[in-house]
Structure 1
Amino acid sequence: MGTVFDSEPLFELTLPDAETVGFDVMARLPLGELVAPDWADALAPVEGELRKVLTFLAEEVAAGHRVLPSPSNVFRAFRQPLAAVKVLVVGQDPYPTPGHAVGLSFSVDGRTRPVPRSLANIYKELEADLGIPARVHGDLGVWADRGVLLLNRVLSVRAGAAGSHRGKGWEPITTAAVTAVAGRTAADGGQVPLVAVLWGKDAESVRPLLGETPVVSSAHPSPLSASRGFFGSRPFSRANTLLQQQGTGPVDWEIPPFP
């Protein structure tokens, strides 16, 4: 497929020490230092809400709770330019297991073994759909580099407590993000090519924000629901067909054997 595995994000977090800086510092930084420039423009209307969430995360840490993902990764989904997004994949909230969450929905740190069961099912469907073999690692960063926005509805979680940061202020921010992706217009006034992949009820909640964006939807890949419509749904080939129908190239869904 002519895959290039050494591509780098077009925007890197510009913090003085991105691995140790806290959420309190991030809450005071200009938005353009936290996300790619065009994302900063798109999220400007919810900048106040974003800073409130970062302050909340700082308070969580001050209270002795571990917040996932790390500060350097909490906005990872917004490192690639908004203009480059071709496919939107909506998740719920980050994995609550320490060491797993990396700021991209469904993706985990490349050292995580075994991969989460939902991701294992995604790999199983990827192989059935496109013949791409499952990988032992769960680093989906190359998808993000190729224009796949792996966006969780909620961008943080307290370690060990799934869903703990729902209703804490992320939802208006990710609503603005989805609206911005779906609302892009080309020079001729038409819609920029985009396909939304919605797995499960939580992801379906963003459908009203998508306007005329083509949607590929099915059950969630979780072991509890994958057999009820996710397996056999062929989301990857269907997304590529819909992209080509809009006059743009397909996504290369190949994943390197090693992270």
Structure 2
Amino acid sequence: MMDTPIPSAWAHLPFFEADWPRIAQTIAEEPRDILPPADQRFAALEALRPDQVRVVILGQDPYPTPGHAHGLAFSVEPDVRPLPRSLNNIYKEMIADIGAAPLTGDLRHWTSQGVLLLNTVLTVPAGEANGHKALGFQTLAHQVLKEVSCHPCAFVLWGKQAQALAPHIQAPKDGAQHLMIETAHPSPLSARRGFFGSRPFSTINTWLTQRGEPPIDWTHA
């Protein structure tokens, strides 16, 4: 349990006292290789305080290929080639939308601009996608969404699993409106059913600019 530090800015969430000790114990007893490494499991939350979050992009669970996942939804280490198929489709849509995409699959430069890349399940056994979906991590995602929706954010819900979490997004306290983007998932199985052509990146930047905030530089690290 001590291998995975709790992100201090989020430590007040009930999950960390009520759920995390049990989940951590279960993971510690796993004989399989668990991804990402222990010190990266809360990387998305360590990167941002709740008040710094401007955009939330929800993923499902970490990449099950060793060396790929590093705690941020959809992101991979910069040396990973070829890109995971969903991320490759995200970049295809980005090029169609704003004319360029990052040179690697490392999305940490998004988090430094207020983009929370949160998986709803934070660990996975190597080689077994969704292998930890029953551990109870989803409670944390619910609490994070409630926390950050106190102020206006852009929420990107790709696919039915992410869209099912929409009820945990509350109206902002100041009476403003969130930006909600709900389309098909960028997976090759569904991207052509509404993800391609959805232009999420320019839509988010237009919304941010209209609010008087700087846009996200999606393409440059």
TM-score, normalisation: structure 2 = 0.91
Aligned position for 1:196: 155
Give per-residue Cα distances to partners, 1:67-99, cap 9 Å, x unaligned: 000001100011122211100000000111111
The answer to whether residue 78 in structure 2 is matched with residue 101 in structure 1 is: no
Matches within 5 A, 1:202-213: 202-212=161-171, 213=178
Q: CA RMSD in A?
A: 1.6
Asked whether the equivalents of residues 61 and 73 of structure 2 are also in contact (C-alpha less than 8 Å), the reply is yes
Alignment partner for residue 23 of structure 2, among 50, 53, 56?
Answer: 53
Alignment partner for residue 143 of structure 1, among 110, 117, 124?
Answer: 110
The answer to whether residue 101 in structure 2 is matched with residue 129 in structure 1 is: no
Aligned position for 1:189: none
The answer to whether residue 38 in structure 2 is matched with residue 38 in structure 1 is: no
Alignment partner for residue 230 of structure 1, among 195, 199, 204?
Answer: 195
The answer to whether residue 125 in structure 2 is matched with residue 158 in structure 1 is: yes
Q: What is the alpha-carbon distance in structure 2 between the residues aligned to residue 45 and residue 112 of structure 1?
A: 32
Poorly superposed stretches of 4+, deviation over 6 Å: none
Change (3 A) 1:210 1:247: farther
Alignment partner for residue 119 of structure 1, among 78, 87, 98?
Answer: 87
Larger radius of gyration: 1
Asked whether the equivalents of residues 15 and 139 of structure 2 are also in contact (C-alpha less than 8 Å), the reply is no
Instruction: Give SS of 2:128's match.
Output: coil
Aligned position for 1:246: 211
* Alignment: residue pair count: 214
Shift, 1:132, TM fit: 1.5
Q: What is the alpha-carbon distance in structure 2 between the residues aligned to residue 116 and residue 44 of structure 1?
A: 33
Give per-residue Cα distances to partners, 1:200-255, cap 9 Å, x unaligned: 11110111111233201111001111111111100011112222333422212123
Q: What is the alpha-carbon distance in structure 2 between the residues aligned to residue 246 and residue 56 of structure 1?
A: 44
Asked whether the equivalents of residues 87 and 149 of structure 1 are also in contact (C-alpha less than 8 Å), the reply is yes
Q: What is the alpha-carbon distance in structure 2 between the residues aligned to residue 180 and residue 217 of structure 1?
A: 20
Instruction: Give SS of 1:106's match.
Output: coil
Change (3 A) 1:108 1:175: same
Aligned position for 1:168: 135
Structure 2, unaligned runs of 5 or more? 172-177
Give per-residue Cα distances to partners, 1:151-178, cap 9 Å, x unaligned: 0010000111110100212011111111
Structure 1 window deviating more from structure 2 (205-214 vs 92-101): it is: 205-214
Asked whether the equivalents of residues 72 and 118 of structure 2 are also in contact (C-alpha less than 8 Å), the reply is yes
Aligned position for 2:180: 215
Change (3 A) 1:208 1:149: same
